[in-house]
Structures are given as C-alpha cells and as structure tokens.
Amino acid sequence: MKSAPGDEEAGADSTACDRNVPDASGLRKNAFFILRAVASVGMIWLVVRKLDWLSVERILRHADWRLLAIASSLTILPVFLLAMRWHLFIRQQGISVSGKSVFFLTWAGQFFNTVLPGNTGGDFVKIFHLCRISPHHKAGAVASVVVDRLVALAALLVLAGASLLRQPIPKLPEGWHLPPWLPVASVGVLVLLAVLGYFLRHRLPVRAQVFRFVEAMKTGVRPGGTLAAGFSLSFGIHLFSFFLFFLFSRALGFSITYADTLIFLPVLLVLMMVPITVNGHGLRELVLIYYFQVLHILPASGGAGGAAEFVVSLSLLMVANELLWSLPGGLIYLARFRGIR
C-alpha cells in the first residue's frame, strides 16, 4: 500500500473535494435541468392524459397492504449492501473509516439521490464528507465513489445484455407512436452535455488533481478480490431490487413473475440513466407500460383499470416508499455530518 500523500500534496489538493460539490447557480446547469424537466413533463403528460384516476384509486384501495408492508420493510437491506460495497473500495484506497460512518453516509447519499434532480447528488455528499474525514486521501475518496458506481454500472450492463439476448426489444404495440419532439430533445441534451464537458475541461485548473485521481483509479480497478467482491455485491443488490419490484407488483395484483422482472428491469434502469429526464420520471412509466403490454403482464384478478393505471399506481407506491426510507438518511446527515468542517 502506498504511503499517504504529504502535506504539500494535501495543500495543493485542499479544495478538490469542494469543487466536486455541485453549484446550483450555474446558468448552464440550470438550462440542462430545464431541458430534462421539460422532457419529464412531456412523458408524464403522455401517460396521464387519458388516465382514469378513479381506477388508480380503486387499485390502491384494493392492494395487498400486508405484502406491501413486508416489501417496504426490506428496503433497508440494499442500503446495507451498498455500504458494504463502498466500504470495500474505501479500504482499498487506504482510507480508515468505520463501517458505521460508511453506512450512515450511504444512507444520506440515498436521500440526496432521491430528493435532488439527477442521481449523483448523493455521490457528491459522500465524496465531500469522506474528504473531510480523511483529508490526505482526497483523490482516493473520489476514486472510491467512482469505482463503486462503475462496478454497479458494469453489473447492470451485464444483466441488461442478458435480458436483451433472452427477449430483444420488440416493436412498438399498435397505437404507440414516439412523440416527434423526443429525438430533438435527446439530441439537444447530448449537445449541451458536450458543451458542458468542453468548458469544464478547459476552464477548471485540475491538472494536478487529475493525476492523483488517475493513480487512485488504477488502484480501484486493479483485478483482485476487492473488485470481484464488489461485482458480486452489485449483482446481489440489483437482483434484490428486482425482487422488491416483484413484491410491489404482486401486491397490486399483477400477474407477474420474478423472471419477468429480469427481462425488462435491467433495460429500464439503463435507459433511466440516460440524462434526458429528471430522475427518470416519465420515462420509467412509459417504458413499464410498454413492456407490460408487450409481455401481457395484466392484473391477475382482471379488475378495473388498464396497464397505464396499474403502472401509475405501482410508480406512486414505489416513489413514496423511496421517500419514506430515504428520509431517515437525510435526518442522519443533518444530525451527524452537516457540522463537519
């Protein structure tokens, strides 16, 4: 294990973590968010424009709330697994931090991922406070979070590839048409990302930090037991999350199997990572309706309501569950970490 950087290196890198905290006042970032918000609103409108809200109310009223309670109570388990995986990569960087602190920071990160636009707000919080805990390992702190994300993404891509091999994406059902503005909005978002990348690359004085970060990344992606354990945990986390989705769907009366979730959830999660909506809202519902119609996943009881009504009911329940279980993470952050300087 390499020795910790000296005081001179730490001083030169003293503001690296602070630069990783997002600046919400930037004009370009605001423009990017507005584009994504417009895309989300447009997709949500496509879902709800003909929605029968009385059917949604009946679906929720007749749900199996005992099964929902069981599924909800299991939501905390992925947080433990996420903390275990991140702790592997933290230790790999030679950073000494307790498992308890890692768990609470992971939980706080889940809160910010849920309530902030985008899915990386929690990563910035984790980086920021890990840098404060171990100020001489700032590059390693950033690398631990990045490698953690990359390993999770790699496992998801493997699952998505297996899903597409088993069930290639079929043609759109009859009556489905992509809105003409969607390709234009997608191209606009990609162009904006390219412009943002250019400005960040040429305007931020990060050359020295980049070298340290690259060295830390080499350590993080080095083949070995840590990387293998991280991949194993990633597959377990994804598969368990699919199981929770299965339980929520069954509680609403869907005739769905766990094997069905393996067909479309990996693909759905990959699509939701494309930054064209706010946290995947709107896109998630459209894709679920599409797959439920194509795979003939219907209410087992044959009750009132179509695919759109059941998918919206499912989405409302799962978003509410995410908020419920992420809120303690936010409270822990305020009580335990906000005062760290």
Model pTM above 0.85: no
Picking from 92, 75, 241, the residue whose alpha carbon sits closest to that of residue 152 is: 241
Domain boundaries along the sequence of the chain: 17-337
pLDDT at 4: 44
pLDDT at residue 117 is higher than 70: no
Question: What sign does the CA torsion over 276, 280, 283, 287 have?
Answer: positive
Q: Tell me the average pLDDT across 38-59.
A: 70
pLDDT at residue 200 is higher than 60: no
Backbone angles phi, psi at 267, to 5 degrees: -65, -40
What pLDDT band is residue 195 in, cutting at 50, 70 and 90? low
- Of the listed ranges 19-28, 47-56, 74-83, 174-183, the least confidently predicted one is 19-28
What pLDDT band is residue 258 in, cutting at 50, 70 and 90? very high
* CB-based contact 163:233 (threshold 8 Å): no
pLDDT at residue 97 is higher than 80: yes
**Distance separating the N- and C-terminal Cα atoms of the chain:** 28
